Structure 1
Amino acid sequence: MLISRASRAATLAACATFLLATSACGTDKPEEGSTTTQVRLYGTDGNMLNSYPAELKERAGLVDGMKGTTPLTPLPEDFKRRLLAVNSGLTDFLYSAEAYDAVLISALAAQLAGSTDPAAIAKQIVGVTNDGQRCETAATCLDLARKGRDIEYRSVSLTRAGFTDAGEPSTASYATLHFDGQQINDGKTEFVGAGIESAASTKAPPRPKKQGTGAADRNDGSPLVLGGLLPKTGDLAIAHPPLSAGAALAIKEINAAGGVLGDPVTWIDGDDGTNPAVAKATVASHVEAGVHVIIGAGGSGISREVLPDVVKAGLVLFSPSNTDASLTDLDDKGLYFRTAPPDSLQGRALADVIMRDGSQKIAIVARKDSYGEGLQNIVRAELEKAGIGADRLKLLTYEPPEDAKAKPVDFTSGAQEIKSFGADAVLIIGFGESAAVIRALADAGVQLRR
């Protein structure tokens, strides 16, 4: 169900004031007479996936009862069917809509610019999503763009309002997900709206260019070339299938609708490796290949590392899954965009979920990078606003492995700290490698709530 910001705020206030006085805040109290604190696990967009339990191997059952949030709009069944036609083995749809929209917005921006020049594309991207004739499909939007019409693109991830001046969503939808056994129970999923529609940009982009009638006299640099910078390998590889499927579906539908500037759009695949070195090598390869727009990176920290290289090359970097709030203020020369909402919005949703469960002492464990520590601090601040004192919060971080050959995360001492602290809730902010945190908690004798 969709919960308004006002009702969420009221729930937070009620939980902060009365904590366990109502059923909404106190459904998860330990059984009377229990001497062992039961700990509820919470996750975020990097680990709330059906593919995540496999990271725990033979101990996959430890995720039973885990809940968390992720940026997610209720996806139309037709969109899911189209994705499955691209990849019939999909088990998750996380960020598939955002990847689809990032590719399609890039294509529409190039068509409106009348050029594949990255700087010209960048100047159109925000305007594609605001203050024009509304359209919702590749065919309809491209037809309007070819005619030189201002458009307001709305689709699977972008439904309520357009981009801000900074090139990111002004509003978002978050889902609260629940693991029952080793699968997310879709029947328990709740959707929460966040953000402010008035934050959408009102700046007018350059006037759109109507496509000429003949290809011979055009000098637009077509075909448009997009390069992937998605996590085929590394800690975030569990999110690659839906990201890749969303991008592939968009390319398929753009080209079925006639392509951009009279030519089919070209896609060059590429891996970010959830590793700066791998990602930088991919960016260099894309620059050499003549890519105009890079779709990625998967992780916020990776985008932060490669952005200087992308900007130096004068290309557009457009991520479907970066959520680090601090990326909003990077000096990107107007070349960085994202369809994923910043964690300033997700932090509020996470705090809401944790508070509604009546948690008294909360440990927040994060991978040590801009995404993990950034979201950790946002959630901490939101919990403190809701009445959880600093003495009831414990913040821990861990160094994520550099690559697949590195040793797994050792969270033994951190797990003991959490046990001694007496936490009844543990929020884990990480990717596939964060499964090591859950194993360490279980090994330390922490009783995980089912």
Structure 2
Amino acid sequence: MLVSRGSRAKALVACATLLLATSACGDDKPEEEPGAAQVRLYGTDGNMLNSFPAELKDRADLVDGMKGTTPLTPLPDDFKKRLLSVDPDLTDFLYSAEAYDAVAISALATQLAGTTEPRAIARQIVGVTNNGQRCETVALCLRLAREGRDIEYRSVSLTRAGFTDAGEPATASYATLHFDGEKINDGKTEFVGAGDESGASTKSPPKPRKQGGGKAGPLILGGLLPQTGDLALANPPLAAGVALALRDVNAAGGVLGKPVTWIPGDDGTNPAIAKATVARHVAAGVQVIIGAGASGISREVLPQVAAAGRVLFSPSNTDAGLTSVDDKGLYFRTAPPDSLQGRALADVILRDGPHKIALVARKDSYGEGLQESVRAQLEGAGIGADQMKLVTYEPPAKGKTVDFAAGAAEIKSFRADAVLLIGFGESAAVISALADAGVPIRH
């Protein structure tokens, strides 16, 4: 809150009069500088989750008033109910639709290829989403694929257009989310579209094969999802989306006449853990790896996956640089690139009319990539370089927390009135550090 000018006693009287719990009332909290601007917090897909406030423990109320964006399509109630039938404890649905579609597209591409050979599967993936007979359920799409028909798959995350030549969505939907009462207030959620349908691929894939030709299954999918690590708070909806898709594919007869097999695996939000998981999947004969959760982890393991001739298909990677990465034609994603999210996020920030903006990011390809995208969008909208401060931090080692005391002091000295947090669960330590430094967080 804004603290009245004058003595500490007057500030305490003002707090009692206004009944505002967010002030510097109480001797155990840092005193705000006279005239300090209230700071509004903004988040991204890595922390705008109902599970995020728990990372702050007894300070969970610090997130109230925080808003941000995430790639999110308005999910049908039926889809949510089916996800909850898989995991009744779900509190978030972020990337659940993208996880569902990554598995479904992999299954359909394999059926059309008529073989479980990974490179043959990869050559069908983009075509599954473009220029064929439109189908909107796994069962119908599989039936058409078994008949050797070209298909155009549309589902919960792919609604407007299919994949680009690079193997990622040409269009996307973003949601603006708000924290109230330590949870996302669904009543305030707004959706906006991004991207261009003309960006979808027009190339023809190899001719589909009818079932019975080629190498027999089974199709084996391997998980590379954040069961542990900084992004673990996003794992439940990812896992639920995968499980629901597997259930639907196998209920519809499986792929190449056999049930699809799933081998779970952890990426740990850690390159060493992820590489060990990839090695196990390759040894087990996995043809398509679903993951990784974080863009930086996919960058780390992609050379290993490509060298083994496997497909890497992520439901949640958004690093714009992955669009042009050397992937040997084996990397795909159902999440849209941050070149689109940066624009949506800048719009959300600009609506509030900030004067000074601090862009805080974890130091990896996801954090720094989105930070740069937002910076460029803000600059294009007329925000000068002197009105922005870019701050990064090293992702914490396992079992450690981010020490952001110096960064918080920088932001306080800069007198920012808006702080964007680009990170995962460790963003909670950044918020705590801001509060500890006496930065007046707006609720």
Q: TM-score normalised to the size of structure 1?
A: 0.90
Q: C-alpha offsets along residues 405-448 of structure 1, whole Å, 9 cap, x if unaligned?
A: 2x210000100110110100000000001111000000000111
Is residue 370 of structure 2 the alignment partner of residue 395 of structure 1?
no
Q: Which residue of the partner structure matches residue 50 of structure 1?
A: 50
Instruction: Name the SS of the counterpart of 2:193 in structure 1.
Output: strand
Aligned counterparts, 1:404-419, within 5 A: 405=399, 407-419=400-412
- Structure 1 unaligned regions, length at least 5: 1-33, 213-217
CA contact (8 A) 2:216 2:256 kept: no
CA contact (8 A) 2:179 2:185 kept: yes
Aligned counterparts, 1:32-431, within 5 A: 35-212=35-212, 219-403=214-398, 405=399, 407-431=400-424
CA contact (8 A) 1:43 1:66 kept: yes
Identity of aligned residues (%): 79
Q: Quote the Cα distance in structure 1 between the aligned partners of 2:355 and 2:330.
A: 43
Q: Quote the Cα distance in structure 1 between the aligned partners of 2:432 and 2:416.
A: 16
- Structure 2 unaligned regions, length at least 5: 1-33
CA contact (8 A) 1:104 1:250 kept: yes
Instruction: Name the SS of the counterpart of 2:93 in structure 1.
Output: coil
CA contact (8 A) 2:44 2:422 kept: yes
Q: Quote the Cα distance in structure 2 between the aligned partners of 1:152 and 1:360.
A: 46
Q: C-alpha offsets along residues 361-393 of structure 1, whole Å, 9 cap, x if unaligned?
A: 000000000000000001000000000000000
Q: Which residue of the partner structure matches residue 6 of structure 1?
A: none
| 1:260 partner amino acid | V
| 2:440 partner amino acid | Q
Is residue 426 of structure 2 the alignment partner of residue 433 of structure 1?
yes
| 1:383 partner amino acid | L
May I ask how many residue pairs the two structures share in their alignment? 410
Q: Quote the Cα distance in structure 1 between the aligned partners of 2:243 and 2:106.
A: 14
Rg larger for: 2
CA contact (8 A) 2:167 2:333 kept: yes
Aligned-residue offset at 1:402: 2.6
| 1:435 partner amino acid | A
| 2:165 partner amino acid | D
Aligned-residue offset at 1:219: 4.7
Instruction: Name the SS of the counterpart of 2:39 in structure 1.
Output: strand
Q: Quote the Cα distance in structure 2 between the aligned partners of 1:280 and 1:77.
A: 37
CA contact (8 A) 1:75 1:156 kept: yes
Q: TM-score normalised to the size of structure 2?
A: 0.92
| 1:412 partner amino acid | A
Q: Quote the Cα distance in structure 1 between the aligned partners of 2:146 and 2:397.
A: 45
Q: C-alpha offsets along residues 103-159 of structure 1, whole Å, 9 cap, x if unaligned?
A: 000000000000000000000000000000000111000000000000000000000
Q: Structure 1 residues 134 and 225 mapped into 2: Cα distance closer, same or farther (>3 Å)?
A: same
Task: Give the superposed CA RMSD.
Answer: 0.7
Which ranges of 4 or more aligned residues in structure 1 deviate by more than 3 Å?
none
| 1:444 partner amino acid | A
CA contact (8 A) 1:117 1:221 kept: no
Q: Which residue of the partner structure matches residue 25 of structure 1?
A: none
Q: C-alpha offsets along residues 17-68 of structure 1, whole Å, 9 cap, x if unaligned?
A: xxxxxxxxxxxxxxxxx82200000000000000000000110110000000
CA contact (8 A) 2:62 2:431 kept: yes
Q: Which residue of the partner structure matches residue 26 of structure 1?
A: none
CA contact (8 A) 2:114 2:214 kept: no
Q: Quote the Cα distance in structure 1 between the aligned partners of 2:393 and 2:181.
A: 27
| 1:410 partner amino acid | D
Instruction: Name the SS of the counterpart of 1:448 in structure 2.
Output: coil
